[in-house]
Amino acid sequence: MDIAKLNILEETLKNKFDIKSFQKFTREFFNGPEMMPESRRTGIWREYADYVEAYYTVAKYKDSEGKSMIILAVELKKGKSVERARSMQRNFISKVLDINNLEAAMVAFYSNNEPNWRLSFVRLDYTLTDKGIELDLTPARRYSYLVGENEPNHTAQAQLLNIFEDDAKNPTLDEIEKAFSVEKVTIEFFNLYKAKYLDLIEHLKDNEAFINETKKLGLDVDKFSEQFAKKLMGQLAFLYFLQKKGWLGVKIIPDDHFFTDDEFKGIYMNQDQVRKSILEKTFKRNTDGDIVLDLKELSCLSEHEAGLLSDCFVGTKY
């Protein structure tokens, strides 16, 4: 892969959204798509008018299997975060696809007042049920990357690189969907997390201060090393989650990053009654209707409760 193409990939994903850069990205990603004249469309359907300011049809593309898709850039209204209302964003694209008889779309969602933007893949899928033909959509969370100035985007680059560097073959929709799927990312994260966990265990077993303290407590060094490493890794992951959401007072991402109702419900419904009660105690709805962490309640949790709270987020994107 030549350096010029790699620079296009990196510069597009690590900077604030720019339509010219996204056009270059699209041209290289699809190897000869039908590029469309730059035209900012402001005629938005009424049900989406409170969220969407305008959109661009950047390009159209047909893969080797004859399946058609569209590449869009959707400008959200000022104050509407790219991180929130993702179901609305996905449904807006679904309507565009349905009207134009297309199967999928790659979409850049951005807001002019935000340094970050979202690159998503949305695909229509019709299934036959006892009620007739039903429409399914690719999940908004599972098929998108948050990129931009304040977002680490190494994962997005790694996932998209294989398609981006292949000049000989145009990608199929299935290959594009796979590049946007988090399944591979989840496996990669687990393997890296496991490696760090095992490294920490080995370090503890060889650490004289840790060994002496463990023996004072009358505990087995090997067994306690594993327990301590597991607990510490879980706490570090949870603290990163709190910081990522801006709930530690040090916002690595600015503005209105709260739990959405869907995010909280998705985590809450998968817990037993004990963990549900801890979530109810530590997360409260503020006057703006957002679900936020109650720091006072968090500080009152016992060590056991804190561990159970951390467990609630195991296996999620957090």
- pLDDT per residue as tens digits for the range 164-219: 888 888 899 999 998 888 655 566 677 788 888 899 999 999 999 999 999 998 99
CA distances from 317 to 125, 244, 290 (A): 24, 11, 20
pTM of the model: 0.59
**φ/ψ bin of 184: left (φ > 0), alpha (ψ from -120 to 50), beta (otherwise):** alpha
Weakest mean pLDDT among 17-26, 42-51, 194-203, 239-248: 239-248
CA distances from 105 to 31, 41, 270, 278 (A): 16, 17, 31, 40
Residue carrying structure tokens 């002019």: 112
Predicted local distance difference test score (pLDDT) of residue 142: 56
User: Between 3 and 281, where is the model more confident?
Assistant: 281
- pLDDT per residue as tens digits for the range 288-298: 777 888 877 88
**63: how many CB neighbours lie within 10 A of its CB?**
18
Which pLDDT band, with edges at 50, 70 and 90, does 129 fall under?
very low
> What residue spans define the domains of the chain?
3-181
Q: Is the pLDDT of residue 41 over 70?
A: yes
CA distances from 117 to 57, 83, 201 (A): 17, 8, 38
Predicted local distance difference test score (pLDDT) of residue 54: 93
Predicted local distance difference test score (pLDDT) of residue 133: 44
CA distances from 240 to 233, 234, 244, 245 (A): 11, 10, 6, 9
Weakest mean pLDDT among 115-119, 179-183, 228-232: 179-183
**DSSP code for 257:** -
Out of 25-29, 98-102, 139-143, give the one with best mean pLDDT: 25-29
